[in-house]
């Protein structure tokens, strides 16, 4: 049986956005994120991060360093009683300086490759999934698979054409809307 899931962008959604974060010590969980993710965990919805990490293609950090950042993120969330079921990332960029990462791949948002990988692993029905992010590209990503998008309002990318189903002030607000929409 297919089920619902929650996709989260990383930078600006669950952690403070620091351009090309390369130091695990720089991971700062945003206020209320632990409680919001912990609640989603408690009601059995898979919580999955999908994030473009072109800093790898641009030579700012390695995949090993990114793994350390994600380990730190998981540790900090665990201390707040929350967990991520998976983290998917795209290290590619068509203008990357490292040849092995210089490509426009099917996993880079707004393409839906990361969502499809998660759907296969977690038996998700993508049309019934939600994506919370701080950019219009996050909304486009979830809409390409028929799901619903929640855009965080402190975004610098609130374009006129934003197609978010809901605009939230933070992740706690977004989770509240998801719960109401699911009628839980």
Residues designated as active site: 9, 11
Strands 130-133, 148-152: pairing kind: parallel
What whole-number distance in Å separates Cα of residue 52 and Cα of residue 110? 9
- Count other C-beta atoms under 10 Å from residue 169's C-beta: 11
Backbone angles phi, psi at 15, to 5 degrees: -130, 160
Q: Which two tokens stand for residue 123?
A: 């038996």
Rounded to an integer, what distance in angstroms lies between the CA atom of residue 6 and that of residue 174?
A: 11
What DSSP string runs through 97-149?
Answer: SSGGG-S--TTSTTSSHHHHHHHHHHTB-GGG-EEEESBHHHHHHHHTTT-EE
Which residue shows structure tokens 């900090």? 76
Sign of CA dihedral 9, 132, 71, 79: positive
């Amino acid at each position: 049986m297919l089920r619902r899931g929650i996709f989260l962008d990383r930078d600006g959604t669950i952690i403070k956005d620091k351009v090309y974060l390369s130091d695990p010590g720089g991971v700062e969980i945003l206020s209320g994120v632990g409680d919001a993710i912990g609640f989603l965990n408690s009601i059995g919805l898979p919580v999955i991060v999908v994030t473009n990490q072109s800093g790898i293609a641009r030579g700012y950090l390695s995949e090993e360093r990114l793994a350390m950042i994600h380990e730190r993120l998981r540790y900090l969330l665990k201390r707040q009683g929350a967990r991520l079921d998976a983290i998917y990332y795209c290290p590619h960029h068509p203008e990357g300086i490292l040849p092995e990462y210089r490509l426009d791949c099917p996993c880079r948002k707004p393409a839906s490759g990361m969502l499809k990988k998660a759907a296969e692993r977690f038996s998700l029905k993508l049309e019934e999934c939600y994506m919370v992010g701080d950019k219009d590209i996050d909304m486009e990503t979830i809409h390409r698979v028929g799901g619903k998008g929640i855009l965080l309002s402190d975004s610098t990318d609130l374009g006129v054409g934003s197609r978010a189903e809901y605009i939230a002030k933070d992740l706690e607000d977004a989770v509240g809307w998801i719960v109401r929409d699911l009628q839980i």
